[in-house]
Structure 1
């Protein structure tokens, strides 16, 4: 892993393989190694003859931990993505984001459309527009003295996952308070980049992939049968559909 400075924030990233670049952006409370390494995504991308760039988002993994929610506004996290491309000398890359990472990827695509060759929004569907969950409840769970005292099932799940990934709980609490901005239907309708929207059929977090794809001109929806928000990540069909999409669009 290597580091670079994004507006004064030191961020960790991986860079493997050669060929058309694919930037992988992980979800909340995860990191590049968990979201993309342990699930064989990096091996899948490089094995397809592509270059895999893997970013640890601010507040996550080995990147700087920040404790002001304002530092996690989605447009700032999206700017980190573009600055990583600048740092490694990549003019255009496919962006593949999962959950929070998909939100970041969508914001980055709107901010810098000429830098994005193809866009994959996984684990984030119509909730990108409609909103999802109670960020404050999750923040409270992260700040609780123990997961045992958290009664909200969803919030407790995030706390337990954050503990498994050995995350900085205070940094994540700041992040969740600021990083769930939505986009309007009009804004996502301006995305002209080839877009794939992927979600599990049992995902109760991210909304409908068909509904979001209908808002983005030419977007393709994919539903992974029997998969929920956690199990969809490493699904073999997920990987196959993403690679076929990238092949179809020369990315």
Structure 2
């Protein structure tokens, strides 16, 4: 089934300036789903899933968070944090005129989705959380990304050289995931260092107490044999949230190379969120 696809942009204001964010819409209607990418990856990584969900009648939006993809990439670490990215998702919903959405993502996108549920619970119809980065991933995350931050800050020519090598490769002539890898390597030293710095020295995810208070239904997907995104973190998160369902992927690559089972689980979950009655907004006393 073919679905419409449209590229859009909007602007966010902060104490540090005005930045442009870019997104893609798939399909139409009022059953909104927002998908968020992994760290340093482009929103296009979720194109196959977005098309599959839109074919089921959902209105899907993929967003390049600040510092990623085709959105602006300032080199100031002060503009990058989980809270800032969550506020950008809420600003996207405001821009689209979407009262609520199922919000989901992979890795960084998973953690940002949790932040949105804490920051604006009345805007979250449900959560699709793949590969969250929580307690069991700290050491592996530091080992993986600290050298990248060091190289971007003190050996910037290494990041620039990769960009010069990968950018000329036509994305239409390589397999889809090879193109995503090339896009991920298309970085600028200043923004890479700033993004990783902002993650390392801010809070990585909501606290366990805050996660236990999330009332939105959630689909949590964990991967076996993934040191940066251990399945133990996903299982722990599913156990914390009162309305969560845990799904174990068959491999770290299942949703990328054989996505039918997990696409179906995500579609059924998102459609179920929109078929259930709208939660009443809590009013403080």
TM-score relative to the length of structure 1: 0.85
Say yes or no: does 1:98 pair with 2:106.
yes
Say yes or no: does 1:30 pair with 2:41.
yes
Which one has a larger percent helix, Structure 1 or Structure 2? 2
> Can you give the 5+ residue segments of structure 2 that lack an aligned partner in the other structure?
1-6, 160-179, 276-285
Conservation of the 8 A alpha-carbon contact between 2:82 and 2:205: no
Measure the CA separation in 2 of the matches of 1:129 and 1:191: 18
Say yes or no: does 1:117 pair with 2:117.
no
Cα distance change on mapping 1:163 and 1:117 into 2, 3 Å: closer
Deviation, structure 1 residue 223: 0.9
Q: Which stretch shows the higher mean deviation, 174-183 or 45-54? A: 174-183
> Can you give the 5+ residue segments of structure 1 that lack an aligned partner in the other structure?
148-159
Measure the CA separation in 2 of the matches of 1:138 and 1:161: 16
Conservation of the 8 A alpha-carbon contact between 1:117 and 1:194: yes
SS at match of 2:20: strand
SS at match of 1:250: helix
Task: Give runs of aligned pairs for residues 125-204 of structure 1, distance below 5 A.
Answer: 127-132=133-138, 133-134=141-142, 135-143=145-153, 144=155, 145-146=157-158, 161=181, 164-180=184-200, 181-204=204-227
Measure the CA separation in 2 of the matches of 1:60 and 1:72: 11
Measure the CA separation in 1 of the matches of 2:12 and 2:110: 19
Q: CA RMSD in A?
A: 2.1
- Tell me what 1:13 maps to: 23
Measure the CA separation in 2 of the matches of 1:194 and 1:55: 22
The count of residues paired between Structure 1 and Structure 2 equals: 232
Deviation, structure 1 residue 232: 3.8
Larger radius of gyration: 2
Measure the CA separation in 2 of the matches of 1:111 and 1:241: 26
Deviation, structure 1 residue 146: 3.0
Deviation, structure 1 residue 162: 6.8
Measure the CA separation in 2 of the matches of 1:216 and 1:183: 12
Say yes or no: does 1:238 pair with 2:246.
no
SS at match of 1:220: strand
Deviation, structure 1 residue 196: 1.2
Deviation, structure 1 residue 167: 2.6
Measure the CA separation in 2 of the matches of 1:47 and 1:169: 38
Measure the CA separation in 2 of the matches of 1:69 and 1:162: 24
Deviation, structure 1 residue 226: 2.1
Deviation, structure 1 residue 49: 0.4
Superimposed CA distance per residue, residues 25-51 of structure 1 (whole angstroms, 9 cap, x where no aligned partner): 111111112x112xx112101101011
Superimposed CA distance per residue, residues 64-121 of structure 1 (whole angstroms, 9 cap, x where no aligned partner): 1111111111101110000000001000010011110111111011000000101011
Conservation of the 8 A alpha-carbon contact between 2:137 and 2:228: no
TM-score relative to the length of structure 2: 0.75
